Structure 1
């Protein structure tokens, strides 16, 4: 009996089994009907579309800031006051110097008038030999000298008037007004601080119009050629939940930024912000929409085999797939839109067809079935998960 049991156990151990479990069977990919969206993703930062850094054009102590951060201001409203006493004193000195020169000018004009009268009288007397030629020449010299002095005084007055205008302008710069309507979003100087405008323009505060914000997205050079102005785009922000902001591309800046040897191009996107939910400096996850389709045949991206460039057509890129079933075999399918999970089938397969994944693609399809994520093939699979 012991020998019989031992023989049966040895037979079972040595004999291979042909039974296969469900886990050993290849995971088949099924063509389903759903929505798809192909996008280019990028990171972006929010900033006001229109803003201005308000600075000081004159040197002096900042006496008063009339507004606070968050205040709405109108164009022409007084924002800050710099100590005006030095500039007021310069204006007073210029005005006094001008008055002094004007008094000298009036006296010199009187002398010039007297010299002209003497010159005219001597010229008439010279005809009748009533005066000598030397006396006539002396009166002529005196007249020309008086006229030259008058011209010099007038030039000095013009020069001082120009200096006065400049000093009055600087005096006006001690009061800083808003150049546009907006919101005070930043304060860079404090009351009592001395501002030095001789070398650089000291910034006092920043005004911005917050009704329209701009997202400055950085797009890799491999993707930027697929974008164009007026392209549809949407984005999300941290903490925004399910909310998406819809917008269009305004501009693609031609000069790139190179960060750690990575070439990135700035793409500007304007978005309405009248509800003031978007703030300066927020991070945005951008999705530039290259194309989308609704209720079209979809196949998991990892179920596609090798690309067949000989059969590429206007319908899309061509791939070879192995159809499962007794009537199956290798087929060429035309693929249109695609994302990280699915591809649009434009020709070659129908909804319900099952495809055997290529080598290396089975495990990925199994994992997708175990964890489909928040989006299934019938629920806009074109939206990547953040």
Structure 2
């Protein structure tokens, strides 16, 4: 009997050595891990406002500056010369504008022309009166001649009296014709005087277009003068904000075109984080999510929070040569250390979910079984297979929704030797 037991014990499978872990409740965090860099929240790139010769920049990298401090100077002489030239052109145009009035008829000429019209109108009235008087005399002579003709035909008076009456009528007719000529001449004189006045008035208005031309030229030069004056005043370049000099792009004196960046200024104490993540991860991140910063050069872990997610993605080639769509996440540090500067590399963990009382188990305990997740539970020294339902997952842990209870022991990295009912022993 003892021999049989000994033979059975010899052929009984030996326990499989395994690694085990206890399922327990605790803090579980789901994070998105990515690399990023620090950057200044406000960076001022101070550029040359105008074309000109730049004097040697007096500041150096690291120098503290306050808002309004002089950063650079440019030679204002060329601009000052242009300002003086524009001012001279404006003065010349204003003088020419004043000279326009000398081309106008004098006021005395206009008064004289109006007086001439009044005079010829008076002569016209006088000629009309004389014409009417002569017309009456002519008509009287006609009646007298007709009466004398009647008397002559009756033989009452002589032919000489008839001839005298006819002569008187002819004389009065000629005088009437002369008076009519005088009226027409007076009328023509009125028209001529009125036309002369109209010519003077037109000449009075003719230079108006020249005034408009001069005004337009003066306005154009004044606008150019304002621009040049403003540029001349901006040849002394100051810092728009307080901070430190980050970079000096143009140290030596030289001619620079407008827009050339001279100096960069920023406040190193106002740092933010730029973390680029996959676009598929970015959709899971929300403003306010906590951020942990590691591998920044210091031993402590820095804390921060997500401020914003940029709305546009960009393409980036990974180290393996794969094109990826990535999105920048901007985060704020709670207490930026003084040792951390602009453009420093960091590694960040964005916590997108966490639960301090989550039932968690290591991912290394899981394996697939009939399109589900299963684990091996250690029960009385035997491995027992059990199906579990999972919730959130981190890089090393998973949340257990059902299938396990706190305190149960699961087998890590189960090999093919681990089978349901197989004896196991801890390593």
Establish whether TM, by shorter chain, passes 0.5.
yes
> Are the structure 2 counterparts of residues 156 and 60 from structure 1 closer, same or farther at C-alpha, using a change threshold of 3 Å?
same
Residue matched to 1:225 = 283
CA RMSD of aligned residues (A): 3.2
Query: 2:200, 2:409 → 1: CA distance?
Result: 121
Residue matched to 1:281 = 343
Which of 285, 293, 299 pairs up with 2:361? 299
Query: 1:248, 1:335 → 2: CA distance?
Result: 28
> Are the structure 2 counterparts of residues 362 and 161 from structure 1 closer, same or farther at C-alpha, using a change threshold of 3 Å?
farther
Residue matched to 1:213 = 271
Counterparts of 1:228-377 in structure 2, within 5 Å, are 228-241=286-299, 243-260=300-317, 261-272=323-334, 275-294=337-356, 296-306=358-368, 319-326=373-380, 329-357=384-412, 359-360=414-415
Equivalent position SS for 1:141: helix
TM-superposed deviation, 1:295? 5.8
Please say if residues 337 and 344 of structure 1, whose CA atoms lie closer than 8 Å, have aligned partners that are also in contact.
Answer: yes
Query: 1:108, 1:178 → 2: CA distance?
Result: 50
Residue matched to 2:254 = 193
Equivalent position SS for 1:306: strand
TM-superposed deviation, 1:303? 0.8
Residue matched to 2:41 = 49
TM-superposed deviation, 1:304? 1.7
Equivalent position SS for 2:390: strand
Residue matched to 1:123 = 114
Name whichever structure is richer in helix by fraction: 2
User: Rg: which structure is higher?
Assistant: 2
Please say if residues 51 and 207 of structure 1, whose CA atoms lie closer than 8 Å, have aligned partners that are also in contact.
Answer: yes
Please say if residues 219 and 266 of structure 1, whose CA atoms lie closer than 8 Å, have aligned partners that are also in contact.
Answer: yes
TM-superposed deviation, 1:346? 4.2
Residue matched to 1:384 = none
> Are the structure 2 counterparts of residues 287 and 108 from structure 1 closer, same or farther at C-alpha, using a change threshold of 3 Å?
same
Query: 1:273, 1:207 → 2: CA distance?
Result: 22
Equivalent position SS for 1:229: coil
Which of 236, 242, 246 pairs up with 1:175? 236
- Quick check: 322-331 or 33-42, which moved more? 322-331
Counterparts of 1:40-79 in structure 2, within 5 Å, are 40-79=32-71
Counterparts of 1:96-135 in structure 2, within 5 Å, are 96-109=88-101, 111-112=103-104, 115-129=106-120, 132-133=193-194, 135=196
Query: 1:359, 1:237 → 2: CA distance?
Result: 33
TM-score using structure 2 length: 0.69
Equivalent position SS for 1:128: helix
Residue matched to 1:166 = 227
Q: Which has the higher contact order (CA 8 A, sep 6+)?
A: 2
Query: 1:29, 1:362 → 2: CA distance?
Result: 18
Query: 1:154, 1:147 → 2: CA distance?
Result: 11
TM-superposed deviation, 1:297? 4.0
**Structure 1: gaps spanning 5 or more residues:** 1-15, 310-317, 364-368, 371-386
Equivalent position SS for 1:168: helix
Please say if residues 36 and 292 of structure 1, whose CA atoms lie closer than 8 Å, have aligned partners that are also in contact.
Answer: yes
> Are the structure 2 counterparts of residues 305 and 186 from structure 1 closer, same or farther at C-alpha, using a change threshold of 3 Å?
same
Residue matched to 2:81 = 89
Q: What CA deviation, in whole Å up to 9, does each residue of 1:170-204 have, x standing for no partner?
A: 2123222223333321111123121023xxx2111
TM-superposed deviation, 1:56? 1.3
> Are the structure 2 counterparts of residues 359 and 87 from structure 1 closer, same or farther at C-alpha, using a change threshold of 3 Å?
same
TM-superposed deviation, 1:82? 1.1
Equivalent position SS for 1:183: strand
Query: 1:42, 1:209 → 2: CA distance?
Result: 26
